[in-house]
Chain A
Amino acid sequence: MLKDSLISRDPLKIIGEQAAGTIENGGFAAILARAGVGKTALLVQLAIYAMLNDKNILHISTENPVDKVNLWHREVFYRLTQSDATPQTEKLWNQLLHNRFIMTFETESFNVDKLEKRISELMASEIFRPQQIMIDGFTFADENDTRLDGLKNFAREHQLIFWFTVRTHRDDPVAPSGIPNSFVPFSGLFDLMLQLHPDKNRVYLKKVPGETAAEAESNSELYLDPSTMLISDAPV
Chain B
Amino acid sequence: MSLEIKNVRNIGISAHIDSGKTTLTERILYLTKRIHKVHEVRGKDGVGATMDSMALEKERGITIASAATYCTWNGYEVNIIDTPGHVDFTMEVERSLRVLDGAILVLCAVGGVQSQSITVDQQMKRYNIPRIAFINKCDRSGANPFRVIDQLREKLGHNAIALQIPIGLEAGHEGVIDLISMKAFYFEDEWGKTVKTDEIPDALKDEAAQKREELMEAASIFSDDLTEAILEEQEVSAKLLAGAIRNGTIKRKLTPVLMGSAYKNKGIQPLLNAVTDYLPSPREVESHALDISQEETPVALTADDKEPLVALAFKLEDTPYGQLTYIRTYQGELKKGNTVYNVRSGKKIKIGRIVRMHADKMEEVDKIPAGFIGALFGVDCASGDTFVEPGMNLSMSSMYIPKPVITLAVKPADYKSETNMSKALNRFTKEDPTFQTNYNPETGETLISGMGELHLEVYLERMKREYSVALHTGEPQVAYREAITQQSQFDYTHKKQTGGAGQFGRVIGYMEPTEEEFEFENKVSGGNIPTLYIPACEKGFRECMKKGPYMKFPVTGVRVVLNDGSSHSVDSSEMAFQAAARGGFQQAYHKAGPVLLEPVMKVAVETPDEYQGNVMGSLNQRRGVIIGVQDEGVSTVIEAHVPLAEMFGYSTVLRSLTQGKAQFTMEFETYKEVPKSVLQEIEKNLRQSSKTAAQ
Contact = CB atoms under 8 A, between A and B. Distances in A.
B500 interface: no
B454 interface: no
A94 B672 contact: yes
B631 A109 contact: yes
Interface in A92-132: 94, 97-98, 101-106, 109-110, 114, 118, 121-122, 125, 127-128
Contacts of B628: 59, 66, 69-70, 101-104
Interface string B630-669: 1111000101010000000000000000000000000000
A103 B631 contact: yes
Contacts of A36: none
A56 to B, nearest CB: 12
A121 B639 contact: no
Interface residues of A, number: 26
A125 B616 contact: yes
A176 interface: no
B351 interface: no
A121 B639 CA distance: 17
B627 interface: yes
Nearest to A98: B625
Interface string B305-322: 000000000000000000
Contacts of B617: 125, 127
B627 A127 contact: no
Contacts of B625: 94, 97-98
Contacts of B672: 94
A196 B208 CA distance: 45
B627 A66 contact: yes
A103 B629 contact: yes
Contact of A104 (B631, B633, B641, B673): B631
B633 A101 contact: no
A59 B628 CA distance: 9
Q: 4 tightest A-B contacts by CB?
A: A102-B628, A66-B628, A105-B631, A104-B630
B247 to A, nearest CB: 29
A66 B639 CA distance: 8
Given A87-B485, A101-B626, A127 B631 contact: no
Contacts of A67: 639
B599 interface: no
Contacts, number: 60
B48 interface: no
B613 A65 contact: no
A51 to B, nearest CB: 13
Residue with the greatest number of chain B CB neighbours at <10 A, chosen from A67, A110, A114: A67
Given A66-B629, A70-B627, A101-B628, A127 B616 contact: yes
Contacts of B403: none
A87 B641 CA distance: 21
Looking at chain B's contact residues, the main secondary structure is strand
Nearest to A58: B628
B155 interface: yes
B631 A128 contact: no
B632 A128 contact: no
B676 to A, nearest CB: 14
Interface string A117-149: 010011001011000000000000000000000
Nearest to B629: A103
Interface in A52-87: 59, 65-67, 69-70, 87
10 contacts: A66-B627, A66-B629, A66-B637, A87-B485, A101-B628, A109-B633, A110-B631, A118-B629, A122-B616, A128-B626
A127 B613 contact: yes
Contacts of A128: 626
B613 A121 contact: yes
A128 B620 CA distance: 10
Nearest to A103: B629
Contacts of A97: 625, 627, 641
Contacts of B613: 121, 125, 127
B503 interface: no
B612 interface: yes
A66 B616 contact: no
Given A70-B627, A102-B628, A65 B155 contact: yes
B631 A106 contact: yes
Interface in A123-179: 125, 127-128
Contacts of B639: 66-67, 70
Residue with the greatest number of chain A CB neighbours at <10 A, chosen from B513, B617, B637, B639: B639
A97 B627 CA distance: 7
Residue with the greatest number of chain A CB neighbours at <10 A, chosen from B625, B626, B673: B626
A97 B623 CA distance: 13
A106 B632 contact: yes
A69 B628 CA distance: 9
B154 interface: yes
A114 B154 CA distance: 21
A104 B625 CA distance: 17
Nearest to B619: A127
Contacts of B641: 97
B626 A87 contact: no
A145 B285 CA distance: 52
A74 B637 CA distance: 20
A109 to B, nearest CB: 5
B633 A106 contact: yes
A118 B636 CA distance: 12
Residue with the greatest number of chain A CB neighbours at <10 A, chosen from B631, B632, B633, B637: B631
A118 B625 CA distance: 18
Nearest to B602: A67
A105 B613 CA distance: 17
Contacts of B154: 106
A228 B595 CA distance: 34
Contact of A102 (B485, B616, B629, B632): B629
Nearest to A128: B626
A101 B628 CA distance: 5
Contacts of A110: 631
Contacts of A106: 154, 631-633
